[in-house]
Structure 1
Amino acid sequence: MAIHRYERHNNKKSRNYWTQDEFNKFLDTVNDRLDLRLAFVVSYWTGIRIGELLALTYQDINLEDKTISVNKSYQRLNGKGVLTSPKTSNSVRMITMPDFLVEEFREYYGQLNETMESKRVFKLEKSDLEHYMAYGIEKSGVNRISIYELRHSHKNMLVSIGADPQEIARHLGYSSPIPFVITESKLAGLLDKKHGEA
């Protein structure tokens, strides 16, 4: 996909989230970049914060257990990318992945020609995601939201499928993650069903 300048939609934002149909339309615009595709898929289907997403290393992804360990954040300090502590202590959590997301990771890993170990999964910056998101919105014509509002989109989806508010809070890292492993598995199952409706 060629990088070029883009024009923002002049349409007034009607809401701060995407429906699944809108997300799929947007995703079609980045299908030729597996790293970008996976980054957006993980963001939309887990509700992970952008800094947490960019901090993920291969050691944080367990495809056998179908989990993502969120334990750090990535940001630019003095022009350099650094890994820092998460936003809050409650941000440290384990996210259970739906089966389709595990397969997305397997496909991505199959295209890599490098030793994974402790390297970052996504060699991207927040500005890269913002640029391609704006490009994809312009190309697909979907509702204009910010990169942070992918998290709102996920939260809205969980509400729409009837997830308990406390479970949603734990899933997103807003409260103690200690008792939520079973809850996460239930949410993953619900998301698999939701994904199958697309």
Structure 2
Amino acid sequence: WTNEEFKVFIEAMESRPVGYTVFMVMYYTGLRVGELLALTPEDIDFDRHVISVNKNYQRLNGKDYIYPPKTEAGYREVVMPKVLESCLKDYLAKLYDVQPTDRIFPYDRGWVGRQMKYGCDHSGTQKIRVHDVRHTHASLLIDMGCTPLLVAERLGHERVQTTMETYSHLYPNKQTEVAAQLDVIATKDDGYEKTS
């Protein structure tokens, strides 16, 4: 999705506070669905403005399981923008008797998929896979000029190479820009432009 498409989609989700919050978190952090569904109140630090990613949720044969991240890079802290902090504060304030280690989104992947279908149907936004919201976050970061290393850290990629292989087509080709900057440097001598 583009930023404009997300805005149209999220507006259609306003009548569904849980789904709204789920997609706000995914769009502004790039968390995987399993990471999102494993979040607890103690993972959200409003003083430091971070979400700690340290586990993964999965439902198998009707049972809920919490696993550690697959790789060391999966353990990470993702800094929240103010718009997401505000959304999460509102959401957590409405939860009844939630304990620090309770899952704040006690649902499964199927439920998230149904929320997405609702949002797409009611907004007219193109249908994408739930996982593609993560790709949308990565695209947003790249558009903002973030380095592959920063994108990799935020997404929890083990290697920057993974980020480059997945998103290299989104990085603009800067060759012409580099050549122009080199020309500027070449024509300067101790801060004074050479005249030819």
Matched, 1:133 2:121: no
2:94 alignment partner in structure 1: 111
1:109 maps to amino acid: L
Residues 108-134 of structure 1 show CA distances to partners (whole Å, capped at 9, x for unaligned) of 122222133210011121101101111
Please, which runs of 5 or more residues in structure 2 have no aligned partner? 160-196
Aligned-pair identity (%): 37
Shift of residue 46, structure 1, vs aligned partner: 0.5
Q: Which one of 22, 26, 34 corresponds to residue 51 of structure 1? A: 34
Inter-partner Cα distance in structure 2 for 1:130 and 1:66: 28
Inter-partner Cα distance in structure 2 for 1:102 and 1:78: 34
Q: Which one of 66, 69, 72 corresponds to residue 86 of structure 1? A: 69
Q: Which runs of 4+ in 1 moved over 2 A?
A: none
SS at match of 1:76: strand
Q: How does 1:162-181 map to 2 (within 5 A)?
A: 162-175=145-158
2:85 alignment partner in structure 1: 102
Which protein is bigger by CA-based radius of gyration?
A: 2
Matched, 1:34 2:17: yes
Q: Which has the higher helix share?
A: 2
Per chain length, whose mean CA-contact separation is higher, i.e. which structure has more relative contact order (CA < 8 Å, sep 6+)? 1
Are the aligned partners of 2:56 and 2:68 in contact in 1 as well (CA < 8 Å)? Answer: yes
Residues 126-184 of structure 1 show CA distances to partners (whole Å, capped at 9, x for unaligned) of 101101111211221112210000000000000001001111111110137xxxxxxxx
Residues 27-71 of structure 1 show CA distances to partners (whole Å, capped at 9, x for unaligned) of 122212211111110001100000000001111011111110000
2:107 alignment partner in structure 1: 124
Are the aligned partners of 2:54 and 2:76 in contact in 1 as well (CA < 8 Å)? Answer: yes
SS at match of 1:95: strand
RMSD between aligned residues:
1.5
Shift of residue 106, structure 1, vs aligned partner: 1.1
Are the aligned partners of 2:9 and 2:123 in contact in 1 as well (CA < 8 Å)? Answer: yes
1:61 alignment partner in structure 2: 44
Inter-partner Cα distance in structure 1 for 2:108 and 2:59: 9
1:9 alignment partner in structure 2: none
Inter-partner Cα distance in structure 2 for 1:51 and 1:91: 12
Inter-partner Cα distance in structure 1 for 2:111 and 2:121: 15
- TM-score relative to the length of structure 1: 0.77
